[in-house]
Amino acid sequence: MEALLYDVHGNLPALEAALADAEGATAYILGGDYALFGGWPKETVERLQQLPDALWIRGNGERWLTDPDTELMHPVAVQALETVKAQLGERLVEDLAALPTSARKGDTLICHASPASDIRSFAPEPADDEAELLEGVEARMLIFGHTHLPFFREAANGIELMNPGSVGLPFDHDPRASYVRLHDDGSIEHRRVPYDHHSSAEQVRAIDGWGETVARRIEQARPDV
| Tens of pLDDT, residue by residue, the chain (225 residues) | 999 999 999 999 999 999 999 999 999 999 999 999 999 999 999 999 999 999 999 999 999 999 999 888 999 999 999 999 999 999 999 999 999 999 999 999 999 999 999 999 999 999 999 999 999 999 999 999 999 999 999 999 999 999 999 999 999 999 999 999 999 999 999 999 999 999 999 999 999 999 999 999 999 999 998
- Predicted local distance difference test score (pLDDT) of residue 180: 98
- Predicted local distance difference test score (pLDDT) of residue 86: 97
Domains along the chain with CATH numbers: 2-220 (3.60.21.10)
> From CA 169, how far away is CA 172, in angstroms rounded?
9
- Asked whether the beta carbons of 79 and 214 are under 8 A apart, the reply is no
- Predicted local distance difference test score (pLDDT) of residue 71: 87
> From CA 18, how far away is CA 107, in angstroms rounded?
26
- Predicted local distance difference test score (pLDDT) of residue 128: 95
Mutual angle of helices 41-49 and 12-21, in 10-degree steps: 30
- Predicted local distance difference test score (pLDDT) of residue 76: 95
Using the CB atoms, write b or e for 153-181: b if 16+ within 10 Å. eebeeebbbbbbbbbbbbbbeebbbbbbb
Interacting residues of 162 by C-beta distance below 8 A, sequence separation 6+: 141, 142, 143, 144, 151, 152, 180, 188
- Predicted local distance difference test score (pLDDT) of residue 40: 98
Q: Is the pTM of this model over 0.75?
A: yes
- Asked whether the beta carbons of 198 and 219 are under 8 A apart, the reply is yes
- Asked whether the beta carbons of 63 and 45 are under 8 A apart, the reply is no
- Asked whether the beta carbons of 101 and 58 are under 8 A apart, the reply is yes
